[in-house]
Each structure stands twice: as structure tokens, then as C-alpha cells.
């Protein structure tokens, strides 16, 4: 690691990069000219990332980070010193309807998908605010716009983080900091394999038939899933474009599904209104 040196390239911190969208995003940002700090809980799992970076002819720096560890997050940001782009990608799914979820399961989803994102964003904001520039991109989900059966805890946490970011965006913008969210639909990655509670319903569970039907539908959706590279390309665009916006979807399927709940697909209608609540520039 070469933490602490000043790079002529903008520095991007990307969480959850051992597989899938995070891996592809780290490589994509490096290819776009960023110094990339790619975090994962276990750096021993960095082989796939390093191989992908090598194949693309770029370099990334791997750092250990459990995003739910406040001290570790604070230490990493302090060691980096200057962060131009934060991509909050690390997350975890959850399977179960509310009656099947205890408080620990609910808290675990908030810890990973909401509180960790809020904490890391709060840590980078002082430096970005002082610099008068910065990009904060949070990977949420179409599940942050549309509640889905048996995704109660996951969607609740994603709704929460979208509300946090939409509230933060007009205030951060006054200091030159752009806040965006990116909503993928089904993406072919290890995310589904890591969903908590996949074996939750016993045969005699009253919810078992409903869960089985939901899982059948989900399997169909993921059979036509977007590639991680396709989703990552949108994240890289959100982080680098000269025409940023608040809300991004990563595919036509994501646009259609999020549109079930959202008329303001790019977020401009809400932000144009709430920005006016802060007075004139």
C-alpha cells in the first residue's frame, strides 16, 4: 500500500470490490484515470480483482475494510487523506417476510446497507467540502424504489439510504459535492449467493408456498440478468460525467421496474424543488 502520498490522479475509494459490480467498477474507474483504492473485508480474495485490473492494463490498490467497523473506516479515510470519489457499493441482501425476521436480522441489514454507507459518506464529506468538489455515488437497488415480497429488511434499508442521499444532495451541492444513487435491477454476480436467509422457510412454514413462488420468479429474472460490467459502466459514468444527476438506473429493466414507483426517474424534479428550500445561491 502507498497510502498517504499525493497523486496527480483523482482518488476513488470503492467498497465491496472482491466480486461483481464493485470489482468491475474499480477496474472501470482505474481505466478512466483514477487512483483506485479498492476495499474488501478479506484482501486474500483480491485475486480476481487484480487479474481483471491486469487484463485491463490498469492498477488498483487493495485495502482491507469491513464497512460495518466504524474505527476501520475512520482509519482508512484518515490514511488516504484526500478522496475525490466515493463509491458506496458494499451491501448484502436478505430474504424473509417481517414475521420471519428477528431484530438482529433487521439490524444487520441496516448496518451494512444504511449505517455503513452513512458513516463512510460522513467521513469523506469534510475533505470534499474543503476542496469544493467531490463525487459520492451510492449503489442502491431498484429495491430502493419498489418494495418487494420477502425483501422486507433489504428494501427498507435501501429505501432508507436513498432517502438519506436525496436529503443530502442539495446541501452537499452548495459545497461543490455531487451526490448520486445508482439503481441496478438483476445483475449476474455473487450477490444472490450471499443473501441472508435463503433457507429460512421450513416445509411447514405458512409462508413456504409464497416464498417458493417468489424464488421461482427471481430465478427467472436472474436468468436474464445484466452483467456486472454493464452495471459498473453506469456507476463509472455517474462518477465521472460532466453532466451529473441524482438518480441513475443501470439497464432498461431497471428503468421499467423503478418506474413502477418513480415518476422522477433522474431525480431532478425533487432536487430542483428541495434546492429552493435552501434560499438563493
Q: Which helix (H) or strand (E) holds 189?
A: none
- Identify whether 154 is a catalytic site residue: yes
> CB–CB of 145/262 below 8 Å?
yes
Kindly name the residue from 5, 114, 154, 207 that is annotated as catalytic: 154
How far CA 170 is from CA of 48, 123, 146, 277, in Å, comes to 37, 18, 23, 9
What's the start-to-end Cα distance of the chain, in Å?
41
Residue 78 in grid coordinates: 484518515
> CB–CB of 93/195 below 8 Å?
yes
Rg (CA), the chain: 19
Helix (H, G, I), strand (E, B) or coil at 109: helix
Q: What whole-number distance in Å separates Cα of residue 131 and Cα of residue 71?
A: 24
Residues with catalytic function:
154
Amino acid at each position: 500500500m502507498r497510502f498517504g502520498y499525493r497523486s496527480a490522479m483523482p482518488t476513488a475509494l470503492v467498497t465491496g470490490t472482491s466480486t461483481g459490480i464493485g470489482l468491475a467498477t474499480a477496474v472501470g474507474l482505474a481505466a478512466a484515470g483514477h487512483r483506485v483504492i479498492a476495499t474488501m473485508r478479506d484482501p486474500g480474495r483480491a485475486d480476481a480483482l487484480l487479474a481483471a485490473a491486469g487484463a485491463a492494463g490498469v492498477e488498483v490498490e487493495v485495502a482491507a475494510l469491513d464497512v460495518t467497523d466504524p474505527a476501520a473506516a475512520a482509519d482508512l479515510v484518515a490514511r488516504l487523506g484526500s478522496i475525490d470519489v466515493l463509491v458506496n457499493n458494499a451491501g448484502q441482501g436478505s430474504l424473509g417476510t417481517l414475521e420471519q425476521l428477528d431484530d438482529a436480522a433487521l439490524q444487520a441489514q441496516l448496518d451494512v446497507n444504511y449505517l455503513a454507507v452513512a458513516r463512510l459518506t460522513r467521513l469523506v464529506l469534510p475533505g470534499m467540502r474543503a476542496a469544493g468538489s467531490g463525487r459520492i455515488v451510492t449503489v442502491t437497488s431498484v429495491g430502493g424504489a419498489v418494495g418487494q415480497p420477502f425483501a422486507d429488511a433489504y428494501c427498507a434499508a435501501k429505501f432508507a439510504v436513498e432517502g438519506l442521499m436525496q436529503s443530502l444532495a442539495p446541501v452537499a451541492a452548495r459545497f461543490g459535492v455531487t451526490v448520486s444513487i445508482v439503481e441496478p435491477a438483476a445483475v449476474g454476480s455473487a450477490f444472490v449467493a450471499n443473501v441472508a436467509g435463503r433457507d429460512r422457510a421450513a416445509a411447514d412454514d405458512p409462508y413456504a408456498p409464497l416464498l417458493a413462488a417468489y424464488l421461482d420468479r427471481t430465478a427467472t429474472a436472474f436468468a436474464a440478468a445484466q452483467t456486472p460490467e454493464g452495471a459498473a459502466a453506469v456507476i463509472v459514468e455517474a462518477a465521472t460525467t460532466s453532466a451529473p444527476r441524482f438518480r441513475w438506473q443501470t439497464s432498461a429493466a431497471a428503468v421499467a421496474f423503478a418506474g413502477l414507483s418513480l415518476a422522477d426517474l433522474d431525480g431532478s424534479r425533487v432536487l430542483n424543488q428541495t434546492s429552493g428550500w435552501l434560499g438563493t445561491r
